[in-house]
A and B are shown apart, each in its own frame.
Chain A
Amino acid sequence: EAEVAQSPRYKITEKSQAVAFWCDPISGHATLYWYRQILGQGPELLVQFQDESVVDDSQLPKDRFSAERLKGVDSTLKIQPAELGDSAMYLCASSLTSGVEQYFGPGTRLTVT
């Protein structure tokens, strides 16, 4: 069964350091999403890509977060510099262009110390 791949699964970093997460969507899924989930909350969309183009990044803190999907396949989310409040689960999801159902990867648990 096709799955969304994410790495690393866990990341511990000190504040002010840079950190990056990687996501490989399900093959054929043109739409890719990055979410952040804080403990006790539901996932919140950070950025949405359609192929290599950003569709929605209205909730992305652009002073420290960046995301790219250069070839329209896999994607990288970067935080620089990391802050204590960035500690959360970062989830990647993908979907068909015409599909509302999104399929999630296992996530990256980030802890900023």
Chain B
Amino acid sequence: DQQVKQNSPSLSVQEGRISILNCDYTNSMFDYFLWYKKYPAEGPTFLISISSIKDKNEDGRFTVFLNKSAKHLSLHIVPSQPGDSAVYFCAASAGSNYKLTFGKGTLLTVNP
């Protein structure tokens, strides 16, 4: 039973446009959500996070939106740059031991 789902295996956008990556979850106990970026042959890099008490968090070109009623979150990248091309993982945590449950990832390709 996959508790964190990223239903789009891949996404392709033009440089300068907006990239929107989506994530759905099923566990109502999740109270913290994170996005990680991963380049080939490297470990995931922490990008941005959001607590369940918020509905939006912004950091530079990256904004994460959380819709608790729909159990849905999204990562917006504006403007997209070729260096943003990577696999993006959505992750969620429940409780004080901060164990992360990851989605399968979405491969973002930003074309020049």
Please give, as numbers and ranges, the residues of chain B lying within 8 Å of A107 by CB-CB distance: 41-43
Chain B interface size, as a band, is 20 to 34
In the complex the two chains form, is B104's CB within 8 Å of A91's CB? no
Count A-B pairs with CB separation below 8 Å. Answer: 57
In the complex the two chains form, is A31's CB within 8 Å of B98's CB? yes
Q: Mark A31-70, 1 if CB is under 8 A from B, else 0.
A: 1010000001111110010000001100000000000000
Interface residue from B41, B97, B104 paired with A55 (Cβ < 8 Å): B97
Query: Which residues of B (1-53) have their CB < 8 Å from a CB of A?
Result: 4, 32, 34, 36, 41-46, 49
In the complex the two chains form, is A101's CB within 8 Å of B49's CB? yes
In the complex the two chains form, is B34's CB within 8 Å of A56's CB? no
Q: Which of B41, B42, B43 has the most CB of A within 10 A?
A: B43
In the complex the two chains form, is B89's CB within 8 Å of A101's CB? no
What distance in Å separates the Cβ of B78 from its nearest Cβ neighbour in chain A? 23
Given known contacts A104-B45, A106-B42, A106-B43, is B97 in contact with A48 (CB within 8 Å)?
yes
Please give, as numbers and ranges, the residues of chain A lying within 8 Å of B98 by CB-CB distance: 31, 95, 99-100, 102
Distance in angstroms between the alpha carbons of A54 and B97 in the assembled complex: 11
Q: Is A109 an interface residue (CB 8 A)?
A: yes
Distance in angstroms between the alpha carbons of A91 and B105 in the assembled complex: 16
Given known contacts A99-B98, A100-B34, is B42 in contact with A40 (CB within 8 Å)?
no
Q: Interface on chain B toward A: helix, strand, loop, or mixed SS?
A: strand
In the complex the two chains form, is B99's CB within 8 Å of A56's CB? yes
Distance in angstroms between the alpha carbons of A77 and B85 in the assembled complex: 31
Please give, as numbers and ranges, the residues of chain B lying within 8 Å of A104 by CB-CB distance: 36, 43-46
Distance in angstroms between the alpha carbons of A19 and B6 in the assembled complex: 33
Please give, as numbers and ranges, the residues of chain A lying within 8 Å of B99 by CB-CB distance: 45, 48, 56
In the complex the two chains form, is B103's CB within 8 Å of A42's CB? yes
Query: Which 7 residue pairs of A and B lie closest in terms of their CB atoms, listed nearest first?
Result: A42-B102, A104-B43, A100-B98, A104-B44, A100-B32, A107-B43, A106-B43
Residue pairs across A and B with Cβ atoms less than 8 A apart, 16 shown, are A41-B105, A42-B4, A42-B104, A45-B99, A45-B100, A100-B32, A100-B49, A100-B93, A100-B98, A102-B98, A104-B43, A104-B44, A106-B41, A106-B42, A106-B43, A107-B43
